[in-house]
Amino acid sequence: MTEMQCVLDAQAKLAECPRWDEQTQTLYFVDIDAFKLHAFSIDSYSIETRQFDEEIGCFSLDNNGGFIAAFRSGVYRFTDFNAPLTPYWKATYDQKTTRFNDGRCDLKGRFLAGTMYSPKDAFKGALYQFENGEASVLDQAAWTSNGLAFSPDGKIMYYSDTPNHIVYQFDYDVQTGSATNKRTFIEFPRGNGRPDGAAVDSEGNYWSALYQGQRVVKISPQGEILAEYPVPATYPTMVAFGGPDMKTLFVSTCRIAQTEEELETFPQAGGIFALETDTKGLIEPRFAG
């Protein structure tokens, strides 16, 4: 595929957090506004869906099997796709205005997840880190936490504030989990897409889905845009590398924000799209506990 193709016409309200399981060749993703987690088998082209009672913003696979996931009410673990939820951390924020959004694990298996503040009139979104049953806050200065990713050696952390159009870099200590020296990595001009979910490839390039920008951008570690890839949807939400050789870029998209006119142009919005790249992605770290 030299152009972005729809591999699953999911018709999701808000598809997010595509995550590749290299052990089972499965692409997982959530539909936040529909309270669903999906498991899409590339080989059999089959999909399994789990319905929850609230928004599931993001998740990671667990070293011990199953998942850790961040919901509106807090963080939970479940031992397999259909297993009961086990509470890990109860939300301390106001659940009426705040929910979890984007997240993933670092190289040591800590789970990081950021929140979004729905009124978007104050920078109350925070980035949390979870390890050994404890939570800490790494940053609290965003409207909508997004774009969390790490350099291949884990020493640089990326984190975007989507409505503010900025992707930040931090120095990240893999051993201690501390994030310091926050600075602007790239700022996008208004009116041409906002940095949403992201992934880093094996060469250290940062791939960002530009929400309302109808494209994915590949950015060098120095902050230079190297390439842009059109997406047949107005609202790309996140990217993930996967496939047998880890060179397939999967892109999740949003349907609920599309206007009727946009849906006529992009009828597969809300689907999962894919692009074959020349770059190999990174195996996603799993939660250590």
Active site residue ranges:
196
Torsion sign, CA atoms 142, 56, 252, 263: negative
Name residue, tokens 């992201």: 198
Here the tokens at position 52 are 């929850």
Here the tokens at position 185 are 């990595």
How far is Cα 118 from Cα 98, in angstroms, rounded to an integer?
6
Burial zone of 103 (CB within 10 Å; 0-12 exposed, 13-18 middle, 19+ buried): buried
- Would you say 145 and 125 are in contact if contact means Cβ atoms under 8 Å apart? yes
N-terminal to C-terminal alpha carbon distance within the chain: 38
Strands in 65-132 per DSSP E = 67-71, 74-78, 86-90, 98-105, 111-117, 125-131
How far is Cα 67 from Cα 260, in angstroms, rounded to an integer?
36
Angle at 151 (CA atoms; ends 206, 228), nearest 5 degrees: 10
